[in-house]
Structure 1
Amino acid sequence: MCDTIVMVTAENEMGLDPGKARGSNMCRSLSKYAPVFLVLALSGLIFLLRNIHTLERLNCQTVSTFYNLQNSLHSAFTPEGPSSLYRNQTYCAHLGQEPSPDELLEEHYLLDSISWPEPPARPISLSRTSDPTHSLFAILPAEGGKEWRVGNQMEALVQIHDFQGRPKHHGGDFLLARLHSPELGAGVAGQVLDHRNGFYSALFPLLWEGTSRVEVTLVHSSEAVAVLRRLREERPDRVFFKSLFRSGFLSETTVCNLCLPAGQQPLCNYTDLRTGEPWYCYKPKLLGCNTRINHFKGGYQKHLLTNKEALLFQSGVNIKVAIHASGSNSITVLPEEKAEVESSSARSESVRVLPSGYYFQGSWRPLGEYAMHQFNDSSAITQCLKGKVLYMYGDSTVRQWFEYLNAFVPELKEFNLHSPKNVGPYLAVDSTHNIMLQYRCHGPPIRFSTVASSEMRYVANELDGLSGGPDTVVVLSVWAHFSTFPVEVYIRRLRHIRRAVLRLLDRAPGTKVVVRSANLQALDPEVSLYNSDWFSLQLDGVLRAMFKGLDVLLVDAWEMTAAHHLPHALHPPPTIVKNMIDTMLTHICSQKKKS
């Protein structure tokens, strides 16, 4: 500045601007006080260095407050959740360890086994999509015009029409079928075969005498299924997650998921070292990756559909709407005759269906190697579980089992582990009869409310930590939180769990392993985009194939909810849960019977 003033003074001395002569005097005055300013600055620096620790302690909370305020102001002007994610149908599937050739071969087989017909590629028009009110089904006559008898198989033929009443000529619709008798408390799920020409067959085994009614439901049109498939492959971010990072008074929340683009900002890599299961969070701006303290559901992405696509998901119009019969929807079944049984058994097995079980008088009757036993009082359950340890791993649908047993058996006393409600872990013990029940949720992705990072454990790792043995029961239910991801993600998770199960059974052959399948649930336009029964059906097909042939019990929650008269719910009502638990206890405590 003084140099400038000197230049101006020189110009003045040269006669350019006599009015600026005061600049030279100002510079001389400033130069006179320069030593004083230097002494003051050095004194302030010495004071700051001597008291910096105190200042840090005093201002840490202030900094955190201002930083949190900054975050709040920023979030007020930005959309909730991740701004944009790299979306590719193979991106999620191949995070983490590269699959081996054998794993890729298995993956291709599993994906082929759940392949679904696609509708013709054309602009979406609601009038040309499947309409349950215009569609019809008809019960086909018994073979040879005979009467229906127990042991026969009955077929209902379904024809799908669009909203203008025109028959459709391609498949891909998602249908459910049930044969039931409210008077007898009986019900069985039908198997739906897609002929891919607008016609479908619903096949039912006839398992009880009396009058029964057929029920056929359109869950989603083929056009809606195509939209769901696209969302699953291209929008794995439509449910997003977050974690809180904290150190002292500083805290920050960032977005987490299986799929996060590395190009936007640095990532914290929480890939599990033993299984290779990937998980990432955006790195906090002020804190390190090792300061993560919890995990929680961040929310749901909105505005996923175009206006035309949204018309495919309307409650009471094309989501879980009944299809009516063109004639009678009921049949009368007579007692079986030996000749009928022999003739029916000679038919091609390819057209015969055998469900896992059916309801009669409100109780589930499995069609397998065990004679079902009803555990209607707590003493029977206590006697069955005496001396046993039950480890339950998975989502909230198996947490229901813990809650049911803990409430129904008074001898079980739950320990207060100060766990978050509905999250766990939970522990209950009957010290008199030496019974222990434990529940723990599976690792991410999981949409629970706040879960401590230390409690985020993968099921495969937990199984590897068990000794096992004849007094150990393991119950697994892993499906509901994977519906928003490509199926490859679920295949990888189940593969790790299956390997851990095999290791457990190898070192402790007497261990009982129970796998709970997916179940049907209530759907509306919003739930359909995240938790549709179509997503669950696809995962259920993978689960059955992955555990087929292993020494495990599959509790068929899908058929147990499809065959029951109560409305579908993500968490089935107590009467269905009881039948599931009776199935498990029968497996644990009863002797095998002839199939």
Structure 2
Amino acid sequence: MIPTKKELFHLSFYSEFGISLDGYSRLQQAVYWDGPDRSITNVSTSTSPAHTTFNIENLKESFQTGEELFVTVHAKDFDSKSKSYGGDFFQAKLFWSKTKASVFGEVVDLLNGSYSVHFLLPWVGEAQVAVRLIHSSEAVQVLKRHRDTDSDRVYFNGFYEGPGPNKTRLSEAVMCNVKWDKNGLEHMGTGDCCCEYKDPRTEEIWRCQRPKSLPCSARANFGKLIPSLKTLQSPFTHLPDVAEKCHPGLHTPVPAGFYLNDVWTSFVCSTRHFTTQTTTECLKDKHIYMMGDSTMRQWFEFFVKVVPTLKQMNLHVQYQSGPLLAVDVKNNIDLHWRAHGIPLRSRKSAVANLHYISNEIDDLAGGSHTVIMFNLGPHFTTYPLDFYTHRVLRIRKAVLALLQRAPDTTVIIKTVNTGYKVSLYSIMCSNTRRPHCDAHASQIVTTSYTYFVTLICVAALKVLLTNNLTS
């Protein structure tokens, strides 16, 4: 098959980062999402959670820990007719509320309207199966179409400030968005309508409508203009502890672990549970750099809360975007967090404080006392997947260079949460205050894992999904 012009452009870009045609093809296969085989003209033909059913294939009176449970989901429409194609986005878990136990179930699309789910049985006691339809196949296709063509449904403000007449100060707010395959610019005009800002290292371009009274150089701040299926239960009659010490490069099985008594146990390697003292000892003599969204900022807040000698400094910045700093002089710990740069749906923030992750990593010397943690995802769900992929590849390039000059640097990647209770981006993904573009977030997880799994240790654990599916 002869590549299209768009594919040739992407292949040229990917080759800059050492990604072959085969590697590009593998990613396309990994993020492939099935969909309707015909035009949908009636909502009644879409998947209905009330009519969809599932059954446990190997149900029996009791099981041994370590056995597997096999479930088949049969998707049906609102007329109770079986679906003949895949593409529905289901999430599944095995759980028991009384013991706060849960484990993630991998859902495999059979592309014919049915889905297989398998669970590992890791604890002694009872359990329930929960399957939830997040988005129907039809909804996924609508969301994908708007994500790829209507990125301007979520846009940002550029704030300009400068001197005015008679020693006054002028201030203007204008619309901004990324310049990407012409997406997101439909309402911003053409010709000399806009100011363009190109990062010299990432080569990413953002565009803002030209302010009426101030020059393009006066840009100072940036910000955003701001049902479950029936469950079955069956009694089950603990897996041995994983003895291997955790280290980069270990295979991550599915599931990667489970909760019992609200405590996470890993199937990857020996799980450690930290006290305040052992946490402090672990962080001692470390320079820790966290970059990402609010879920990474929660890690920063957690460490500040858990380590009493770690004191947060007031840098007088916008808290939502940072940078934030906490210092423990006694134990020689400095902890940093900053947002991952635009796109960032946050309050008005100084442009000078919004740095790209790849640029930050390029500016770090690294070494055995340096720990880098980052994540990237939710703020990209309303943009084409290629835009996110390009950002990931630039970070990958920066990480490769860092590990080449300082191979003893610790790099930790936090993958994307896909179970938001409240939609931050409902303008794009939903007209209800329910989980947003989880299907898009799932593709983002796959993209990150594809490009980082062979490079360093990726924490692609379905922890939050496992713990929150039915709550």
Report the TM-score, using the length of structure 2 for normalisation.
Answer: 0.86
Q: 1:522 matched to which residue of 2?
A: 421
Residue aligning to 2:84: 169
Change (3 A) 1:565 1:118: closer
Matched residue, 2:206 = 279
The match for 2:174 is: 254
State the secondary structure of the residue aligned to 2:317. Answer: coil
Aligned partners of 2:72, 2:351: CA distance in 1, in Å? 52
Q: Distance in 2 between matches of 1:534 and 1:454?
A: 33
Q: Deviations over 1:314-373 (max 9, x none)?
A: xxxxxxx21125xxx123333789xxxxxxxxxxxxxx963121112211112113x111
Are 1:187 and 1:565, in contact at CA under 8 Å, matched by a contact in 2? no
Deviation track 1:166-223 (CA, whole Å, cap 9, x = no partner) reads 2222111110110112233221110111112221111111222222111111111111
Select 2:44's aligned residue among 120, 124, 127: 127
Q: Is the 8 A contact 1:420 1:450 kept in 2?
A: yes
How far does residue 421 in structure 1 lie from its aligned partner after superposition? 2.8
- Do structure 1's residue 324 and structure 2's residue 251 form an aligned pair? no
User: Secondary structure of 1:132's partner?
Assistant: coil
Deviations 1:549-582 (A, max 9, x none): 12234252xx1111114767xxxxxxxxxxxxxx
Looking at structure 2, the residues matched to 353 and 400 of structure 1 have their Cα atoms a distance apart, in angstroms, of 26
After superposition, the Cα gap between the structure-2 partners of 1:205 and 1:129, relative to the gap in structure 1 and judged at 3 Å, is same
Q: Which amino acid aligns with 2:222?
A: H
What does residue 292 of structure 1 align with? 219
The answer to whether structure 1 residue 458 and structure 2 residue 356 are counterparts is yes
Please show how residues 203-242 of structure 1 align to structure 2 within 5 Å: 203-242=118-157
Structure 2 counterpart of 1:251, one-letter code: S
Q: Deviations along 1:56-88, whole A, 9 cap, x unmatched?
A: xxxxxxxxxxxxxxxxxxxxxxxxxxxxxxxxx
2:97 aligned residue? 182
Task: Give aligned pairs, total.
Answer: 434
SS at match of 2:98: coil
Contact persistence 2:61–2:234 (CA under 8 A): no
Q: Which residue of 1 aligns with 2:246?
A: none
Tell whether the 8 Å contact from 2:102 to 2:466 is kept in structure 1 after alignment. yes
Give 1 or 2: higher helix fraction. 1
CA distance in 1, matches of 2:222, 2:468: 37
CA offsets, 1:41-70, max 9 Å, x none?
Answer: xxxxxxxxxxxxxxxxxxxxxxxxxxxxxx
State the one-letter code of the partner of 2:233.
S
Q: Secondary structure at the match of 1:397?
A: helix
Distance 1:485 1:104 in 2: 24
Q: 2:28 aligns with which of 111, 124, 127?
A: 111
Aligned to 1:489: 387
TM superposition shift of 1:250: 2.8
Deviation track 1:300-325 (CA, whole Å, cap 9, x = no partner) reads xxxxxxxxxxxxxxxxxxxxx21125
The alpha-carbon deviation at position 123 of structure 1 amounts to: 3.5
Q: Is the 8 A contact 1:162 1:168 kept in 2?
A: yes
1:115: Cα distance to partner?
A: 0.6
Q: Which structure is larger by alpha-carbon Rg, 1 or 2?
A: 1
Q: For residue 249 of structure 2, what is the aligned residue in structure 1?
A: none
2-side partners of 1:283 and 1:394: how far apart?
A: 29
Partner of 1:551: 456
Contact kept, 8 Å, 2:108 with 2:116, in 1: the verdict is: yes
Does 1:508 pair with 2:406? yes
TM score, norm. by length of structure 1: 0.69
Instruction: Assess if the C-alpha contact under 8 Å between 2:222 and 2:350 holds in 1.
Output: yes
Aligned letter for 1:334? T
CA distance in 1, matches of 2:443, 2:460: 17
CA RMSD of aligned residues (A): 2.6
Task: Write the distance in 2 (CA, Å) between the matches of 1:237 and 1:195.
Answer: 34
Does the aligned pair in 1 maintain the 2:96–2:102 contact within 8 Å?
yes
1:201 aligned to 116, 119, 123, which one?
Answer: 116
Give CA deviations for 1:140-189 in whole Å, capped at 9, x if unaligned: 126xx795222222111111111121222211111011011223322111
Greater Cα offset, 520-529 or 481-490: 520-529
Q: Which runs of 5+ in 2 are unaligned?
A: 164-168, 180-184, 241-251, 431-435
Structure 1 residues 193 and 233: alpha-carbon distance in aligned structure 2, compared to 1, 3 A threshold: same
Change (3 A) 1:104 1:254: farther
| Percent of aligned pairs sharing the same letter | 34
Offset of residue 94 of structure 1: 7.0
Cα shift at 1:407: 2.0
Structure 1 112/566 Cα, relative in aligned 2: closer, same or farther at 3 Å? closer
Q: Which moved more, 1:446-455 or 1:256-265?
A: 256-265
Change (3 A) 1:103 1:235: farther
Amino acid at match of 1:257: N
Quick one: which amino acid aligns to residue 357 of structure 1?
G
Q: Distance in 2 between matches of 1:509 and 1:195?
A: 42
Gaps of 5+ in 1: 1-89, 300-320, 338-351, 569-595
Q: Is the 8 A contact 1:257 1:280 kept in 2?
A: yes
CA distance in 2, matches of 1:486, 1:94: 15
2:279 counterpart of 1:374: no
Which residue of structure 1 aligns with residue 316 of structure 2?
418
Query: What is the distance in 2 between the residues matched to 1:104 and 1:271?
Result: 27
Select the residue among 541, 553, 561 that pairs with 2:464. Answer: 561
Is 1:333 the counterpart of 2:236? The answer is yes
Query: Per-residue deviation at 1:389?
Result: 1.1
Report how far residue 538 of structure 1 moved: 1.0
